[in-house]
Chains A and B, each alone.
Chain A
Amino acid sequence: MAGFDNLYPSLYSEKVMKHIRHPQNLGEIKNPDGMGTEGNPVCGDVMRLFIKVGKKKNKEYIKDIKFQTLGCGAAIASSSMLTTMVKGKTLAEAQKVTRQSIAQALGGLPPSKIHCSVLAAAALKKAIKDYQQKK
């Protein structure tokens, strides 16, 4: 069933709408410590995460994070939500973020939009890996 007929499989939650209207940590970090880009070739959505890593009590943590997204509402909301979830967290804690925890934090996502939260989680893993490889 194509888009013109279907419109929304189900409506977005208030939280999702809030992140679409007021995305958090949107933009880019000049000279980031790590950068990860993840796209879905089928739907066409692409996200990029930039991180700055700091050290606190010998633990590496995400000092700053920004995102850029070309994609639908759920893709924007997932990336925005993810940045708020991991900012200030240690890398080990941040790695634990999954598509389920992102979707849950957003008050749920329509089934057809779950892959957007998958993209966000994957982009973060790539950004952290990029940082670790550069180190």
Chain B
Amino acid sequence: MRKVYLDYAATTPIDSRVLKRMLPYFKEKFGNPSSVHSWGREAREAVESARSQVARVLGCQTSEIFFTGATTTSDNLAIQGVARAAKKRGKGNQIITSAIEHHGVLDVCRALEKEGFKLLVIPVDKNGIVNHQDVEKAINQKTILITMMYANNEVGTIQPIKEISRLARKKSVPFHTDAAAVVDYLSLNVEKLGVDLMSFGAHKFGGPKGVGVLYVRKGTEIEPITFGGHHEKGLWPGTEAVPLIVGLAEAIRIAAKEKKQAMKQVTKLRDRLIKGILTKVPGSQLTGHPTQRLPDLASFVIEGAEGEAMLLQLSDQGIAASSGSACTSGILEPSHVLTAMGIPAKVAHGSLRFSLGKETTQAEIDYVIEILPIIVKKLRKMAPKGV
């Protein structure tokens, strides 16, 4: 059977060039970077050279790069770390975030709220975009952190990060962004973006699972949240995952090098998919902003067909996608992102997301455009009429 993977926003296959760079560090070059002998030195050099590589792409100093376990661990370290540092120094207690953050951010903020921090969640418009003026109004003397994602992983909308960072800078409030969804396509230059902290994980851009980066601008007050050693300057203790770090660095090097071409190629295929679905599936609507969106994301709500049922049918035809319907959530609630955009539960019921990758071909897109209308028709035929 034909296999078409269109769930790159969930995870990407590892790039073969990345894998090749990683392999020696599992066995021949297995040393602990903290050891003084040649094995250790070899591993230390690999980690530090990886750090330089990441710093080059972000346009920052190597001392500002910290390797962690995943985007979520970076998010935790950034948010909890800055909050605890502020508390220790008796600064303020208000954290500002948006309604469409990844759970890696939202759940951390909510946990801090239970500890007594004040949380202010900025709403989004129907396209899933934060109005930076709302952020401006929300900042006060007590604000200790603003955390807002670079682009949304479910509907693909890109946030006005530069505008928000300018506001944060003006009020001397640290600004963190979760950039997990953008590494293959958007600029990560921290000077241009004006961010103070930035999180992302390697497996979303052809790197391995289990490793992430936290960028921390020099001078940002941050405390560790786990303890146990000097690693990563005590901010993320634990023996460095050398092969994974090497893989992350190679993946980000490739991502930066191929960004322009990837942007062009993937945008073209995504537009073909969006046009194809909107034309061939009556009762389908694009979710998220029509133009201010990531090149790889095509997300829809489809009337009269449930998300998980579509995923199962698509999977039987060899196609991988995902959904934000309540039935796929495990807690019987539709995606908080779709809800925040004002999409009623009944409409979110038909949520369907395709996310493309650099390996996606036109033939794959055309296959989906051919198969999806048949599946939707079949499911609609199964449904009771007039409900």
What residues of chain A have their CB less than 8 Å away from a CB belonging to chain B? Answer: 1-9, 20-21, 23, 26, 37, 39-48, 68-76, 110, 112, 115
A3 and B306 in contact (CB under 8 A), knowing A46-B383, A48-B384, A112-B332? no
14 new A-B pairs (CB below 8 Å) besides A8-B328, A72-B309?
A: A2-B329, A2-B336, A3-B328, A4-B353, A7-B10, A7-B322, A26-B382, A43-B349, A44-B334, A45-B349, A46-B383, A48-B387, A69-B382, A110-B330
Bound form: Cα–Cα A112–B382 in Å: 23
A2 touches B384 (CB 8 A): no
Instruction: Give the CA-CA distance A109 to B121 in the complex, in Å.
Output: 36
Query: Contacting B326 at CB < 8 Å: which of A39, A44, A46, A73?
Result: A44
**Cβ–Cβ < 8 Å partners of B346 in chain A:** 44
* In the complex, chain B residues whose CB is within 8 Å of the CB of A69: 382-384
* A103 to B85 Cα, complex, angstroms: 51
**B263: Cβ under 8 A from any A Cβ:** no
For the complex formed, measure the closest distance between the CB of A10 and the CB atoms of chain B, giving whole angstroms: 9
User: A68: which of B331, B337, B384 is its contact (CB, 8 Å)?
Assistant: B384
- How many chain B residues touch the partner (CB < 8 A)? 42
Contact, CB under 8 Å: B332 / A115: yes
B339 to chain A minimum Cβ distance, whole angstroms, is 9
B333 contacts which chain A residues (CB < 8 A)? 2, 42
Q: In chain A, what residue has the closest Cβ to B102?
A: A5
Q: Is the interface of A mostly helix, strand, loop or mixed?
A: mixed
Q: How far is the CA of A76 from the CA of B305 in the complex (A)?
A: 12
Bits for B314-352, please: 1 = Cβ < 8 Å to A, else 0: 001000001111111111111111000000011011010
Q: Using Cβ atoms and an 8 Å threshold, which residues of chain A touch B102? A: 5
Chain B nearest CB from A65 CB (Å) reads: 14
Contacts A3-B328, A44-B325, A72-B325; is A37 near B384 (CB within 8 Å)?
A: yes
Are the C-beta atoms of A70 and B304 separated by less than 8 Å?
yes
**Distance (whole angstroms) from the CB of B317 to the closest CB of chain A:** 12
**What secondary structure prevails in chain B residues at the interface with A?**
loop
Whether B325 contacts A3 by the Cβ 8 Å rule is: yes
Q: Are B328 and A7 in contact (CB under 8 A)?
A: yes
7 A-B contact pairs sorted by A residue (CB < 8 Å): A3-B308, A4-B324, A4-B328, A39-B387, A46-B384, A72-B325, A112-B331
Cα A70 to Cα B326 in complex, Å, equals 13
Assess whether B177 is interfacial by the CB under 8 Å rule: no
Partner of A4, one of B306, B322, B385: B322
Q: A48 — which chain B residues lie within 8 A by C-beta?
A: 384, 387
Find out whether the CB atom of B103 lies under 8 angstroms from the CB atom of A75.
no
A3 lies within 8 A of B326 (CB): yes
CB-based closest 4 A-B pairs: A72-B327, A44-B349, A3-B328, A70-B383
Q: Is there contact, CB below 8 Å, between B335 and A3?
A: yes
Q: Quick one: given A48-B387, A70-B306, are A2 and B382 in contact (CB under 8 Å)?
A: no
How many Å from the CB of A7 to the closest CB on chain B?
A: 7
B312 contacts the other chain (CB 8 A):
yes
Residue of A nearest to B307 (CB): A3
Q: Are B336 and A71 in contact (CB under 8 A)?
A: no
A71-B387 contact given A3-B335, A4-B153, A44-B306, CB 8 Å threshold: no
Q: Which of A5, A48, A69, A76 has the most CB of B within 10 A?
A: A5
Closest to B308 in A: A72
Known: A42-B332, A44-B345, A112-B331. A4 touches B323 (CB 8 A): yes
Known A1-B329, A42-B345; contact A70-B387, beta-carbon cutoff 8 A: yes
Across the interface, name the chain B residue whose C-beta is closest to A76.
Answer: B309
CA distance A34 to B385 in the complex (A): 16
Q: Nearest chain A CB to B360's CB is how many angstroms away?
A: 19
Judge whether B154 is part of the interface by a CB distance below 8 angstroms. yes
A23 to B335, CA, bound (A): 28
Name the distance in Å between B271's Cβ and chain A's nearest Cβ: 22
